[in-house]
Amino acid sequence: MTRAVLLAALFAGLGLALRVANPPLPTDEAFRDVLRFYGAEVSNTRETSSP
């Protein structure tokens, strides 16, 4: 059990480090068109907008 917790903490730290080092790219216009087609709200914010 201790190994599992340590491994989970390691992966969480690695994921956080990758997230900070490599931020997501902004959506392109074709993807925004798909979101508009399905009636989703399109926003300029990348992380906080709902799909």
Count of other CB atoms within 10 angstroms of residue 27: 15
Residue 47 pLDDT grade (very low, low, confident, very high; cuts 50, 70, 90): low
Distance between CA atoms of residues 3 and 13, nearest Å: 15
* Secondary structure letter of residue 45 according to DSSP: -
Is the CB of residue 32 less than 8 Å from the CB of residue 42?
yes
- Here the tokens at position 29 are 């216009």
* Confidence at residue 43, expressed as pLDDT on a 0 to 100 scale: 58
C-alpha closest to that of 31 among 51, 48, 7, 12 = 51
Q: What is the pLDDT of residues 3-39, one digit of tens each?
A: 999 999 999 999 999 988 987 777 788 888 887 888 7
